[in-house]
Structure 1
C-alpha cells in the first residue's frame, strides 16, 4: 500500500457519504412532507455536499499529480460518475434556491440528479461484487452513512417531520446489521490469515471499522430509544464515528 492511497481512501469515504445523503434527502423532498420553510432550510445545508465533493475530487487529483502513482482506489468510470452527479446536483440546487423555472421543472432536475446518484450506487456495487466485504462496506458507507448524514442535515434544518426521526435511524440500523452479518464471514477469513500469514493489520482495521459502525448506529438510535428529539451534537458525533468506520474499512481491505 502506497502512502498516496490514504487521500484516495478518504476521498472515497467522503464521496460515498455525500452521494448517499443526497439520495436520502432527495426522497424526503420528493415525499412532499417538508413545508416550504423546512425545504428551504434543508437546501441551505446542501453546500456542505458541494464542499465535501470538491475536497474529495481535489484530494484524488492532487495525489495523482504529486505522486504520479495510480492507486488501487482509482476508478475512472466512478470518478466520471461523481463529476456528473456533482454538476447535476448543483444545477438542481441552483435552480431551487433561485426558484428558476416551474415546480415541475425543478422536480425533474431533482429526479435527474437522484438517478445520477443511484447510477453511482449501482455501479459501485457492481465493481465491488467480487469481494463481498468491500461491497458491504460500500453499502454501509453509502446507504447507512448517507442516511445518517441526511438525518443530521435535517436536524440542522430543524425539520418537523416526526416520521423522519423514527424511520431513518431504523433504516440505517437495519442496513448496518445486514452489512455486519454478511461481512463477518470474511472477517473470519482475515482472522485466519493472521495465523497463517501474520497479516494482523487488515484484521485489526476491519474489526475497528465494524466496532465504530455499531457505535455510530448506537449513538444514532439513542434519541429514538430515549424518546427524545435528536440534537445536532449527538448526530454529528455519530456521523464522525461513521466516517472513521468507513475510512478504517477502506484501509483494511487496501492492506489485504
Structure 2
C-alpha cells in the first residue's frame, strides 16, 4: 500500500511543478506572493525525496529544486530566480514520469498515470497556492474544473482496464474498484465545495480533498497491477 501511494506522488509533483512554474513566469503576482510561492518549494523537494525510495533517479529532481530554492528569496522579491534550474527540475520530473508510463503493462495503465499528472497535480498545486495566499482567483475555478475533467478521464481508464480482466480477477478487484471510485467522487465534491456553496476556499477543505484523492488513486492503482 505504501509503494502504491508513493507511486502516485511523482505524477502529482510533476503536475504541481508545471503549474507553479507557469505562475512564476506568467502569473500577475506581487513580490510578496512570489516570495511565498518560493517558500513552499521545499515541500515538493521533500516529497520527491520520498519518491526516491522507489527509484533513486528522483534524487536528481530533489537536487534541482533544492538548488533553485537556495538561489531565490522567500521574502518580497520581484526576482524570478534562475528559472533554467526550475526548467531542469521539470524536465527531470517529466523524464521520470515518462519512464513510469513506459513501464506500465497496458495502455489504460499508462493513461491512468498521465491523468494523475493533471488530477493530483492540479489539486496539490491548488493547496500550495492557497497556503501561499496567492490572489489568483481564477485558479480557484480553473483547477477544480480541470480536476472534474481529469476524474472523468481516470474513470474511463479504470473501466478500460477492468474490461480486459478475466472473471476471477474482476471479482477480486470489484470491491477495491468501487471504494476507489466512491473516494474519487467524494474528493471531487470536497474540492469543488467552495464553488457549489459560493464560499471562500479553505486550506482545510483542500487538504481533506487531497487526502481523499490520494486514497482513491491508491485504491485504483491496485487494479492496474493485477
State TM-score, norm by structure 1. 0.77
RMSD: 2.4
Per the alignment, residue 218 of structure 1 pairs with 189
1:49 deviates by: 1.6
1:120 aligns with 2:115: no
Q: 2-side partners of 1:14 and 1:36: how far apart? A: 30
Instruction: Tell whether the 8 Å contact from 2:45 to 2:61 is kept in structure 1 after alignment.
Output: no
Cα 1:120–1:198 change in 2 (3 A) is: closer
User: Partner of 1:209 in structure 2?
Assistant: 180
Alignment of 1:103-118 (within 5 A): 103=79, 106-118=82-94
Instruction: Tell me whether 151-160 or 140-149 shows the greater mean CA deviation.
Output: 140-149
SS across alignment from 1:166: helix
Please name the residue that 1:247 is paired with: 218
2:152 aligned with 1:177, yes or no?
A: yes
- Partner Cα distance (1:87, 1:217) in 2: 33
* 2:35 is equivalent to residue 40 of structure 1: yes
1:137 and 1:228 map into 2 onto residues whose CA distance is 32
3-state DSSP class of the match of 1:162?
Answer: coil
Q: Distance in 2 between matches of 1:117 and 1:49?
A: 11
Question: Any idea what SS the aligned residue of 1:96 has?
Answer: coil
230-239 vs 211-220, which moves further: 211-220
In the alignment, which residue of structure 2 is the partner of 1:157? 132
Question: Which structure 2 segments of 5+ residues have no match?
Answer: none
3-state secondary structure, aligned to 2:111? helix
Tell me how far apart the structure 2 counterparts of residues 36 and 20 of structure 1 sit (CA, whole Å): 24
Larger radius of gyration: 1
The answer to whether the 8 A contact 2:112-2:157 is kept is: no
1:50 offset after TM fit, Å?
2.2
Q: 1:139 to 1:198 in 2, by over 3 A?
A: closer
Question: For residues 170 and 159 of structure 2, what CA distance do their matches in structure 1 show?
Answer: 17
Q: 1:94 aligns with which of 70, 80, 83?
A: 70
Cα offsets for 1:60-95 (capped at 9, x unmatched): 4xxxxxxxxxxxxxxxxxx35422222112211221
- C-alpha separation in 1, matches of 2:179 and 2:107: 18
2:52 is paired with a residue of what secondary structure?
helix
SS state of the match for residue 192, structure 2?
helix
> How many residues were matched structurally?
224
Aligned residue for 2:180, secondary structure, equals: helix
Match of residue 110 from structure 2: 135
Distance in 2, Cα, partners of 1:36 & 1:106 = 16
What is the rounded CA distance, in whole Å, between the counterparts of 2:148 and 2:223 in structure 1?
A: 22
Judged with a 3 Å threshold, the aligned counterparts in structure 2 of structure 1 residues 105 and 53 are, in CA distance, closer, same or farther, namely: closer
